Structure 1
Amino acid sequence: MNAGEVKTANDAFANASNLPEDEQQYGTVKGKITTSDGGLASYVSVKLKGTRFGALTNEKGEYQIKRVPAGRYTLVVSGVGLVTKEKQIEVTAKGIALADFTLDEDHSQLAEVQITGHKNKFKEDKVSSSLRLQSPLIEVPQNIKVVNQQLLADQLVFDVVDGVTRNVSGTVRTGHWDAQYANISTRGTTIPAFRNGMNMKMPWGPLTEDAATIDRIEFVKGPSGFMMANGEPGGIYNIVTKKPTGHNRSFVSLSGGGFNLGRAAIDLDGKLSQDGRLLFRLNAAAQTKGSYNKFNYTDKFVIAPVVSYQIDSNTLITAEYTTQRVEAQALGTYGFSPNRLGETDPSFFVGDPALDPNKLNDHNVTLYFTHQLDKKWKVNSQVAYVRYQLLGGTPWPSTIARNGDMRRYLNISEELAINKNAQLSLMGDLNTGAVVHRIMTGVDFGNLKTWGDFSSVQQPDLKLAGNAVFNIYNPIYGIPFENIPLFDRSRSIQVRSGSNIYATNLTYTGVYLQDEIRMLDEKLRLTLAGRYTHAVTVGKTNATQISDNAFSPRVGLSYSLTKNFSAYTLYDQSFLPQAGQDYEGNVFEPVRGNNIELGLKKDWFNGKWNAVAAIYQITKENVVVPDPRAGQSVDPSNPNSDKYPQSISLQLGQQRFRGLELDISGEITRGLNVVLNYAYTDGRVTKDTRAELINRHTPNSVKHITNGWLSYRFNRERSLLKGFGLTGGYQIQVGRNAGSIAAPLMLPEYYRFDAGATYEKGKFSISCLVNNLLDRRLLTQGSFTPVAKPTETSVSYYTYIYDVPRNARLSIAYRFK
């Protein structure tokens, strides 16, 4: 920028500042940034040289700088791995200056970024398009945390249960079925799994997503039903899968580690046509893993091809398919004891190597359509089909004696779930004078059918050879073939589940509208939204068929105290229809939730890191919990009488959750990236017909949680340590409520520490990490099964799941470019 241009710009600012506010003359600068190979330059910096005015491009490479005083400027565009460009522009009063750029790749900078600390930036400023929120996170009146690919790679995460929750305040995972399902809770309530903005919640699924398919994970705190379909009031987590980028970011990795872990993964990202309109991405992974649980193992593979086609500059279609297949010797890694939690060794195995392994799989097909109607409005639609299946058997204690003698039964375990979703949304900006209305509206449809069989075939006693007794303190394995039941699957799962409580059919239709009213130069933002939902639960009789209609309002207010500092408040409601019934045949009422929330958001040091603080209160009505009679004898006076099914449930009254949250993430200083968080959660039963349950703590709520993760990379030029990095983190949980409302239980305090190192040079990288560095015996789940009338062979007992003991991982990766 020459001296004359600087003077012109400075004069424009001086003159503008001396005029009354309503007489100042402003214009707008906008445009689109692309790369030389036809790709979109997302999230690159656009600035007016020598001024404070600037913006970042969105996911379509578009930018807009508003309220620029009239004058001549130099516009500078820059981004990591791209050659910086400048262009002279002139802004006129109430005019729009259009400036598009095409940027070339800076190959030397791309090579450099492979070994600098900036690669591991953990901070994200926007959510994915699947959440349909158009505003930056600092302006959204809700606490939303994004866990990106860089953070997942830094922590050597291979699937969603590999400590992902440590990155989000107040979020925990409850151990269940050997980590085949995530089972995540936030703000004291279990939250559903979403994939690309669509609800995948199933009674036992979906399978835990593999990291090979994950682009990012978005944790939305509080209700989000107004736009995301029906959900829990505590929030959701949204898995955003990898899509083609048009750039060659392909890589292959090999990993190994403790408990016989072996893994190979490949990510191929490229073009199928020279013009870059037809793109593809293929992710695949194969993994074998032993267990600290004796004889147990898990083998799996995942394949996820994606193809996209840019019909024209405004229209994109994408087709995605993902399949996972898992074989596990046992679904559970449970320990049992008549005396206390954690009494038996982690190696204890309740199953037997003679039993058939369990087989699980899911298939997910999704089609996407995006069309930009004009510069302000776009329409999105997508449809998805998910099919999940489990085939196997589950061993479980029939009775446990005080001396540890256990009588085990084995029953068939089979489930089939089919989930269909469709969404159509329209979003854009509408100006009425100085006020901007950011509109989002749409409809969504869903149908979930599940069938389960957990009782039609059962072996009441898994007898060992010579009638030897199985004892939890000195277990003997090797069940004779003649003592193992043969599961009869000649009749379909639909037929077999029709006679029990495991057949469900839930259909819903929702319509929503949100207006984000942006006032006072868009510093003040009032969000008004609502959703109308019609849901039908189909039962086996007219008495168990329910039609529900609900309106869920949402009101939010956000104000930018400065450009990088905002305050917000939110009132929101949730609605979640529930399929199923209790043991007596009473149909479950829908879950209703209310959330009141206040928060502050602050970006520090030019947006390198940010902090979010929030306080909230959630009330939740009609909660379904495990029935305390599950597994007990129908006739307590006769231990040999029929037992209540293990999976029966009942419906409570009201629960209340109060808490506060603090999240910090980003680059604190050059090369040092951190994630720090703390949450206080108090969840209690506030209303119920059973007076003894009032004021009891809710299971899976933790009073105090704090987590931290630090990553430092040496990046000094001419240093022997250049490319070398250190990583490490901690997880602390105090006041851990477990068990059930009817049988509450406190888990021991949780203290876990991890540490590792990385090294990158050119296209190669190597990472190692030691988890549970102090090898503490940590529990992720616990419950208590009471026996009303103990006998010599049957007493009350504890059930629990250990976190993985100390183990190491090593991963080597090669990037093709």
Structure 2
Amino acid sequence: MTSLRKLSVTFCMLFTVFYSLAQEQKGSISGTISNGNGNLLSFSTIYIDELKKGASADDLGKYMLEAIPAGTYTVTVSEIGHYSQKETVSLEAGQNLRLDFVLKENITALQTVEITGRKEKNYKNTSSFVGAKTEIALMDLPQAVSYATKELIADQGVMRIGDVVKNFSGVNQNTFYDDIIIRGFRVNGQSNTQLLNGLRTSTGFWKQPLTNYLERVEVLKGPASALFGNASPGGVLNRVTKKPLDEERHSLSFSTGSFNTLRTLADFTGPLSKDKSLLYRLNIGYENANSFRDLQFDKNIVIAPSVSFLPTDKTRVNFDLIYNSSKSRLDRGQSTFKNDLYSTPVSLSLSSANDYLDEETYIVTLALNHQFTDNFSFSASFIRTGYHEDLLEHRGANKYAVDGNGDDIVDLIAMQVFQRQRKRYIDNLSTFFNYKTQTGAVSHNLIFGYDYAQEELPAGSSQLQAGGYRNAANDGFINTYNPNNSSAYLLDANGNPVPNVAHYDLNNRIASQQLKDMSKYFYNAREFGPDFYNSNGVYIQDQLTWKQLKMLIGLRYDTYTDKLNYTTNEEKNVNQHAFLPRVGLTYSITNNINLYGTYVEGYNPQSAANMDPTLGGPFDPLTSKMVEFGGKSTWFDGKLDATLALYKIVQENTLYNVAGTDELEQIGEEESKGVEMDVTGRIFPNWSITASYAFNESSITKDADGNETGIQKPNTPKHQGNLWTRYNVKQGIFKDFGLGVGTNFVTERVLQQNSDQTIPGYTLMNAALYYQINKFSIQLNINNFTNKTHWVGGYDYIRLFPGSPRNYLLTVGYSF
């Protein structure tokens, strides 16, 4: 046994020696990958054909292939938008070879529609399609763009657009809804001016869509009508969906936290064929969460598959589907005692227990890009949005209850009930040719395009509405109470009019929120539609480059047709049209500093509904113009970007509600001017940061009669800012841990035109703790950890939208 034991030990020792010697004989290949401009190419693919072995470069463009036997090999490097490069190398035993690659841009592979995915894994984004239709470096775009990548969104643990836009200068929430303010001008999801992958679409407005399927959220500041037709003068919000990648990536995450939140997300992507001509991506999300608001909840299911087909290096096709099923209640906001902001808790909601909001949305996109030659290409994209709403809500009537004398009862809110069903279908076709040419020393990037958009509200969309006060016969209701004609109303023992829908008692909210007997109300019926509109737009754009100077010029012509009394014998076309110019200059002072200036005009036609004389119409279209100057720069070898913008926007003919009526009036002129700063990127490889600040003076400068005024625009703070930073520990006892901290603030805001009601400014503090080991990650987010009472927006003290108190979210993730 002793001899056998000695023999075994000797064999093991020899095996170890031979194995070590064999390992020592293996070498490695490492280096960096960059493009012709000196920019490092993150996450490029490196592959050794003979060994069927590969790797990806990191976010700094560095790669390493290890444990390579001696021999002669073909090393292939590939990256989307660049020519693949092959190198034949001979590796000696144990040699560590340094091999750098410089890839040449491939014009035929550069996408003029956003079809292939972004591989970066940080807060920084270098290019966009929203500013010029084709891909353009943000440094060269003569207009400010704010953005948040999926990495920043994930680090902050947010799931709603309203939480994402707090990272943007000059952008703030207006309500709980899909409803934001950009540079003092309102943009909401129902206006059909928001974009998805650069195409016009819409949301249901009442609920903000989830962000789990988004690659990034970006805002192009200022009027975008010259590119996309009618749009808000403040800017346009574009949601960019995650696209398939040519490498395998899979992730799962589970989150739980405050307000009984449960959330599960999945993201899978990779090639479906060996030659990587067919790629896929699948995002799935499930959310079941309550709220700090009484009776509020959200149940969401999101399924978002995407497929890219790349049959040749000249043709690319992408298919996207986003399906969202949402069950919730509609939250109309907090009400307070008259002129007393802090008189009720921020949790107070006017909903009843039997209220519901069921929404179903699908968005289908098909995009094609074909390169005829190296300099001539064609792009076409089609998007269809379908939306269905089924709603029952108890909500305030936007006023206090009244007594027999017509005076307000300040602890009772007048109520109304809506039961509504409606559908909306939106189609948008965008086509353009892209031609690159040279005239002498000037290069041109020309675009000739045509856009078509339409929206239909089909027959059957309708609403039952109950509200007001019961008539004397108690067989119907009258919308408003007139004390001079009290005999027309049913009065109680105290001589007060009897409401059709019981008032909400601010002193007894529990009783006011109980189940209601819907059969006890008297209803009026109201039709929604059928409605139909379409628009046609043609445009031309040229990006000229001469040495350090770039010029972006464009002209668009739009026609807009709205069918009044659609599908009836009284159907009538309401036609409007506009010419929209755009001129921008960018000058490169150095390789990392550009100055720019731009002038652009905007246009937004009035809908057919706003032509109704009973509402005060017809009204003129909204017109706007903007002048903007600024600078853009990059620092730390392109790892950190900074933008400074100074702007002035003037809009005419904005509509506002006439107080106490359903009528509208047209304001003569609004003006918004200010300064914005954005910084995004990395200071060091393990230290990321995003910061913004905006000063904005936004006011109504001329009233409906053309008189000079200085009224501050509603929900528009003069100052706002944001800071978020994440630091990852690379060594020591806290290795693999990360810490994120952030703050955002806004100053005081006016709630309504001609009102002295305001909501105070606030500063919120947020933090996150991260731990990652191998493929597992744990993340804890604590938001508003000082538990600051605040309001993100509102209309008045009957319709306030409070922000969340202190809350936490714990997320466990696995990537494979």
Distance of aligned partners of 1:86 and 1:779 in 2 relative to their CA distance in 1, 3 Å threshold: closer
Does the CA-based 8 Å contact 2:540-2:554 persist in structure 1? yes
Match of 1:755 among 767, 772, 781: 767
Residue 530 of structure 1: how far off its partner (Å): 0.8
Task: Show the counterpart of 1:426.
Answer: 433
Taking structure 1 as reference, are residues 276 and 737 closer, same or farther at Cα in structure 2, changes over 3 Å only?
same
1:189 aligned partner: 185
> Which of 669, 692, 709 pairs up with 2:724?
709
Alignment check: 8 A CA contact 1:216 1:241 kept: yes
Deviation at 1:206, TM superposition (A): 8.1
* Counterpart among 559, 564, 568 of residue 596 in structure 2: 568
Against the structure 1 CA distance between its residues 543 and 651, is the aligned structure 2 distance closer, same or farther, given a 3 Å change threshold?
farther
Q: CA deviation at 1:301?
A: 0.8
463, 466, 474: which one pairs with 1:458? Answer: 466
Provide the rounded CA distance (Å) in 1 between the counterparts of 2:621 and 2:559: 12
Matches within 5 A, 1:94-113: none
Instruction: Check the 8 A contact 1:42/1:57 in 2, yes or no.
Output: no
1:143-542 correspondence runs (5 A)? 143-161=144-162, 163-176=163-176, 181-191=177-187, 192-201=193-202, 205=205, 208-353=208-353, 355-398=354-397, 399-400=400-401, 402=409, 404-450=411-457, 456-458=464-466, 460=468, 470-475=504-509, 476-477=511-512, 479=514, 482-484=517-519, 496-498=527-529, 504-520=531-547, 523-540=548-565
State the secondary structure of the residue aligned to 2:318: strand
Q: Give the secondary-structure state (helix, strand or coil) at the position aligned to 2:335.
A: strand
Q: 1:63 to 1:197 in 2, by over 3 A?
A: farther
Residue matched to 1:612: 643
Write the mapping of 1:606-685 to structure 2, written as runs, cut at 5 A: 606-630=637-661, 644=662, 649-685=664-700
Distance 1:29 1:744, change over 3 A: closer
1:710-747 deviations in whole A, cap 9, x for unaligned?
1111123xx222211111111111132322x2446322
Q: What's the TM-score once normalised by structure 2's chain length?
A: 0.78
Q: CA deviation at 1:575?
A: 1.6
User: How many Å apart are 1:119 and its aligned residue?
Assistant: 7.9
Distance (whole Å) between structure 2 residues aligned to residue 135 and residue 504 of structure 1: 37
Aligned-residue offset at 1:536: 1.0
Question: Is the contact between residue 207 and residue 362 of structure 1 (CA under 8 Å) also seen in structure 2?
Answer: no
> How well do the aligned residues superpose, as a CA RMSD in angstroms?
3.8
Partner of 1:599: 630
What is the aligned partner in structure 1 of residue 19 from structure 2? none
1:590 aligns to 2:621 (yes or no)? yes
Larger gyration radius, structure 1 or structure 2: 2
Q: In the TM superposition, what is the alpha-carbon distance from 1:29 to its structure 2 partner?
A: 12
What is the deviation of 1:74? 14
Match of 1:721 among 711, 726, 734: 734
Deviation sequence 1:120-158 (CA, Å, 0-9, x none):
631211114796243311111111122111111111122
Q: Write out per-residue CA displacement over residues 213-236 of structure 1, whole angstroms, 9 at most, x where no aligned residue.
A: 101112101122222332112111
Judged with a 3 Å threshold, the aligned counterparts in structure 2 of structure 1 residues 629 and 504 are, in CA distance, closer, same or farther, namely farther
Conserved 8 A contact 2:640-2:679 = yes
- Give 3-state SS (helix, strand or coil) of 2:151's partner: helix
The AA in structure 2 aligned to 1:408 is: M
Which residue of structure 1 lines up, in the alignment, with residue 583 of structure 2?
555
Structure 2: distance between partners of 1:149 and 1:334: 32
Shift of 1:379: 1.9
Percent of residue pairs identical = 25
- CA displacement at 1:553 relative to structure 2: 0.6
**Residues 339, 798 of structure 1: 8 Å contact kept:** no
Rounded to whole Å, the distance in 2 between the matches of 1:184 and 1:63 is 43
Quote how far apart the aligned CAs of 1:455 are: 5.0
**By how many angstroms is 1:391 displaced?**
1.1
SS of equivalent residue, structure 2 residue 128: coil
Structure 1 residues 131 and 798: alpha-carbon distance in aligned structure 2, compared to 1, 3 A threshold: same
Deviation, 1:60, is 2.1
The change in CA–CA distance for 1:100 and 1:446 in structure 2 (over 3 A counts) is closer
1:3-52: CA deviation from partner (whole Å, max 9, x where unpaired):
xxxxxxxxxxxxxxxxxxxxxxxx9999x9865499999998699xxxxx
The 1-side partners of 2:730 and 2:414 are apart by 60
Alignment of 1:796-807 (within 5 A): 798-807=798-807
Change (3 A) 1:619 1:282: same
SS at match of 1:211: coil
Question: In structure 2, how many angstroms separate the alpha carbons of the residues matched to 1:43 and 1:591?
Answer: 45
The number of aligned residues is 696
Q: Is the contact made by 1:337 and 1:799 (CA closer than 8 Å) also made in structure 2? A: no
Tell me, in whole angstroms, the C-alpha distance in 2 between the residues paired with 1:619 and 1:773: 39
Q: Could you tell me the TM-score, scaled by structure 1's length? A: 0.78
Task: Identify the residue that residue 786 of structure 2 maps to in structure 1.
Answer: 774
Shift of 1:704: 0.6
Per-residue CA deviations over 1:232-277 (Å, capped at 9, x if unaligned) read 1211110011111121111111001101110011111123223222
SS at match of 1:227: helix
For residues 432 and 392 of structure 1, do their structure 2 counterparts lie closer, same or farther at Cα, with a shift above 3 Å needed? Answer: same
Alpha-carbon distance change, 217 to 352 in structure 1, aligned in 2, over 3 angstroms: same
Q: Which runs of 5+ in 1 are unaligned?
A: 1-26, 48-55, 65-72, 76-82, 90-95, 102-117, 631-643, 785-796
Letter in 1 for 2:814: Y
Change (3 A) 1:559 1:351: same
> Structure 1 pair 195/28, CA: closer, same or farther in 2 (3 Å)?
closer
Cα pair 2:744 2:763 within 8 Å, conserved: yes
SS across alignment from 1:695? strand
Which residue pairs with 1:686 in the alignment? 701
Q: For the Cα contact (< 8 Å) 1:409–1:461, is it kept in 2? A: no
Give the whole-Å Cα distance in 2 for the aligned partners of 1:129 and 1:556. 15
Residues 343 and 445 of structure 1: CA distance in aligned 2, closer, same or farther (over 3 Å): same
CA distance in 1, matches of 2:685, 2:201: 39
In structure 2, distance between residues paired with 1:296 and 1:377: 53
C-alpha separation in 2, matches of 1:654 and 1:453: 35
Measured after TM superposition, the shift of residue 469 of structure 1 is: 7.0
* Structure 1 residue 98 displacement after superposition: 10
Corresponding position: 1:127 with 2:159: no
- Partners of 2:108 and 2:279 lie apart in 1 by 24
Deviations 1:607-649 (A, max 9, x none): 111211110110112212334234xxxxxxxxxxxxx4xxx64
Give the residue type in structure 1 aligned to 2:667. L
Q: Give the corresponding residue for 1:21.
A: none
Whether the 8 Å contact between 1:577 and 1:591 is mirrored in structure 2 is: yes
Uncovered stretches (5+) of structure 2, i.e. residues with no partner: 1-35, 64-76, 90-96, 110-118, 188-192, 402-407, 471-491, 493-497
Return the alpha-carbon distance in structure 1 between the equivalents of residues 573 and 265 of structure 2.
Answer: 46
| Separation of aligned partners in 2, 1:392 and 1:799 | 19
Kindly state the Cα deviation for residue 380 of structure 1 after the two structures are TM-superposed. Answer: 1.4
Secondary structure of the equivalent of 2:169?
coil
Aligned counterpart, 2:795? 783
Residues in 1 aligned to 2:813 and 2:334: alpha-carbon distance in whole angstroms: 35
1:529 shift after superposition: 1.0
Task: Between the two structures, name the one with larger relative contact order (CA 8 Å, sep ≥ 6).
Answer: 1
Find the aligned partners of 1:385 and 1:487 in 2 and give their Cα distance: 38
Check conservation: 2:670, 2:698, Cα contact below 8 A. yes
Tell me: CA distance 1:371–1:687, structure 2 relative to 1, closer, same or farther (3 Å): same
